Structure 1
Amino acid sequence: MKNDLVVKDNVLINASYNLEVTEQRLILLSIITARETGQGITPESRLKIHASDYAERFNVTKEASYDALKNAVNNLFERKFTFKEQTDSGKGIVVKSRWISQISYIPHLAILEIIFSPAVVPLITRLERHFTWYQLKQVAQLTSKYAIRLYELLIAWRNLGKTPILEIGDFRQKIGVQDNEYKTMSDFKKRVLEPAIEQINKETDMTVKYEQHKTGRVVSGFQFKFKIREEAQETPTGENKVEELFCKINDKQIESYASKLSKQHDLSDLAGNKDYPAFAIWIGNILRDKDSVRPETAKRIFTALHTLTNFQK
């Protein structure tokens, strides 16, 4: 299987939506296709998804891939998501958007053409803010829509190995559980949470467990703790010394990259009490001299830099 990177702004990672497995897979393939153009995309860009590509990446039959693409024309076009956005005044607002502004299926070529909505485009191409990446192969064998979303939510906390306490109502919305579904906690655990965790533990690079938190006698939230298996702890290119690829970057590039890296969620635990400018200066010093910090810290910085530059190519 191809070693593709899915890269999303954390606004999209933390959005609330309900997509079926095939629909999530098509969105992920579209994100990868957008990245592979090398030219960036706009709200007018047509992204082509081939049935053969879908079949290969998700290990399904050609017939299943044809059905996924054909059904998407009606189903995926109607799907919406909700996310939070900060205004210039610093206030948070809730935004609702479609995923797709235009979609069509070309039967004789078995190709799906997708145009992302204007709200989605910056959330899969903009890396000036926090973003999360993971390898498509990690979710390719997941057949639970809840497992895919849970994996995404967890991997955003990769460097800490645990999430904060996720309030139950917000958590349900993010993984796509409707208000009228699995209302009792026992049903939610049996039908959603535990099967999703079982799949993640079996099919991905992650081993996860959860703790429930109560307000009085009522479960009010969950905290997840997880580990990434050592054999899967590879950089996006599989290289052990990513920093060697960047030994020739100049001071102007260092300042630009350090500024962007300082705002990445994956590195936020390294910031301590530093604000963004101070954190960026600290990162810049590491890019100039990787031996100024512990090897594992330097590797994290350079791995994040590789992901950033690889995405922007």
Structure 2
Amino acid sequence: MKNDLIVKDNILVNASYNLEVTEQRLILLSIIRARETGQGITSDSKLEIHASDYATRFNVTKEAAYSALKNAVHNLFERKFSFKDNHADTDKEIVVKSRWVSRISYVDDLAILEVTFAPDVVPLITRLEKQFTSYQLKQVAQLTSKYAIRLYELLISWKSTGRTPIIDIADFRSKLGLEINEYQKMINFKNRVLEPAIQQINELTDIVVKYEQFKSGRSISSFQFSFKHKEELIQVNNNNNAVYLASKMTDAQRHMFAHKLSELPEMGKYSHGTESYQQFAIRIAEMLQDPEQFKELYPYLKKVGYMTSTKKDTMNG
């Protein structure tokens, strides 16, 4: 398969929009097609998307690909998004609203979609001298949740640190394209949006992600996400089966076993000497988030009851 690199200005990555899975896929294919021209594109450029190409890259039937391209003529043309940019003259932050495409057509006999990006979109997929995000199309090709695709993209823009800033819930919902009245209750938001997206990302992409939530009073007000590339995670069993223990350990497990580890005499070499058992346990819990330190502490974890199998993690105690 070709080097299907998706490259977007971070302004576009952090934009607010609601696109269905097929529509996001077509935008991504159009971005790839723009790169493949090798000559750059303008707001007049017509980019061709073939139904066969869509079917191959996303592993769907030709019928599903034909349907996606046909429906895009009606649906994608109506889609809009908003993003923050700086005003050219005053350098003050402004909110810009734009369509994704200014022209779109479907050639039925050839099963080809012709896409012309709107003027505001073109620089955001070609102006790459500033901050931008890139990833391989194959990482999101199997995702069937529109929220999973968006979340993956938001996360991977922080791949240099593996951790996002704390994101306000309202801002996060806006980036995912949720309307104010959609999944207002947090339990519905988690069950229908957040948890399924994270599950798909963890199973089908190159990263494993988890999140922390923060409250304002009794209500959850923000989230922070951290993630690791699977190739960075450690292998621990003697049969060379890749068991990603560092990523699978929940926060509750981490703190429970850190407390047990803090009381082991053998762990004394890791202590700073002046800290209390509680302070030591907190620091151990932080150590367990790092794959290399997790690997080093793994023998002690087994001693205090942490057990693993290739199917799931179990714990005694």
**CA distance in 2 between partners of 1:160 and 1:58 (Å):** 29
Following superposition of structure 1 onto structure 2, how do residues 75-224 of structure 1 map, counting pairs within 5 Å? Answer: 75-87=75-87, 88-224=89-225
Relative contact order higher in (CA < 8 Å, ≥ 6 apart): 1
The Cα shift of 1:2 comes to 3.6
Aligned to 1:74: 74
In 1: Cα distance, 2:202 partner to 2:179 partner: 25
Give the share of equivalent positions with the same residue, in percent.
73
CA distance in 1 between partners of 2:114 and 2:25 (Å): 14
| TM-superposed deviation, 1:230 | 1.4
CA separation in 1, counterparts of 2:144 and 2:8? 21
Equivalent residue runs for 1:23-102 within 5 Å: 23-87=23-87, 88-102=89-103
Once residues 198 and 80 of structure 1 are traced to their aligned partners in structure 2, the CA distance between those partners, rounded to angstroms, is: 28
Give the partner amino acid of 2:181: N
- Name the CA distance, whole Å, in 1 between partners of 2:208 and 2:132: 22
**Other-structure match for 1:245:** none
3-state SS, counterpart of residue 90 of structure 1: coil
Deviation at 1:90, TM superposition (A): 2.4
Residue number in structure 2 paired with 1:279 = none
Structure 2 runs not aligned, ≥5 long: 234-317
Any residues of structure 2 matched to 1:259-298 within 5 Å, and which? Answer: none
Question: Does the 8 Å contact 1:3/1:137 carry over to 2?
Answer: no
Q: How many residues are matched?
A: 232
Per-residue CA deviation, residues 54-85 of structure 1 (Å, 9 max, x unaligned), is 00000000000000000000000000000001
1:235 counterpart residue number: none
Runs (4 or more) in structure 1 with deviation over 4 Å come to none
Rounded Cα–Cα distance in structure 2 between residues aligned with 1:222 and 1:7 = 26
Residues 242-261 of structure 1 mapped to structure 2, 5 A cutoff? none
2:264 counterpart residue number: none
Q: Quote the residue 2:289 is aligned against.
A: none
Cα shift readout 1:178-201 (whole Å, capped 9, x = no counterpart): 111100000000000000000000
Q: CA deviation at 1:3?
A: 3.4
Q: Which amino acid is the alignment partner of residue 25 of structure 1?
A: R
Cα deviation, residue 231, structure 1: 7.2
Deviation digits for residues 121-152 of structure 1, max 9, x if unmatched? 00000112110000000000000000000000
Q: Write the distance in 2 (CA, Å) between the matches of 1:21 and 1:201.
A: 18
8 A Cα contact 1:2 1:137, kept in partner:
no
Residue aligning to 2:277: none
Letter in 2 for 1:31: I
Give me the whole-angstrom Cα distance separating, in 2, the residues matched to 1:162 and 1:95.
27
Counterpart residue number, 1:225: 226
Q: Matched residues in 1 for 2:162 and 2:196: separation? A: 20
**Letter in structure 2 aligned against 1:135:** Q
Contact 1:167 1:221 (C-alpha < 8 Å) held by counterparts: yes
User: How does the TM-score come out when normalised to structure 2?
Assistant: 0.72
Q: What RMSD in Å do the two structures reach over aligned CA positions?
A: 1.1
CA deviation profile, 1:33-71 (whole Å, cap 9, x unmatched) = 000000000000000000000000000000000000000
| Cα distance in structure 1, aligned partners of 2:178 and 2:9 | 22
CA distance in 1, matches of 2:137, 2:129: 22
Q: What's the secondary structure of 2:83's corresponding residue?
A: strand
Q: Could you tell me how far apart the structure 2 residues matched to 1:180 and 1:3 are?
A: 40
CA–CA distance in 1 between the matches of 2:114 and 2:106? Answer: 6
Tell me the distance in 2 between the aligned counterparts of 1:19 and 1:167: 21
Match of 1:13 in 2: 13
Matches of 1:178 and 1:51 in 2, distance apart? 31
Tell me by how many angstroms 1:160 deviates.
0.3
Amino acid at match of 1:79: R
Measured in 2, the distance between the counterparts of 1:90 and 1:114 equals 32
Which ranges in structure 1 are unaligned for 5 or more consecutive residues? 233-313
Counterpart-to-counterpart distance in 2, 1:148 and 1:67: 20
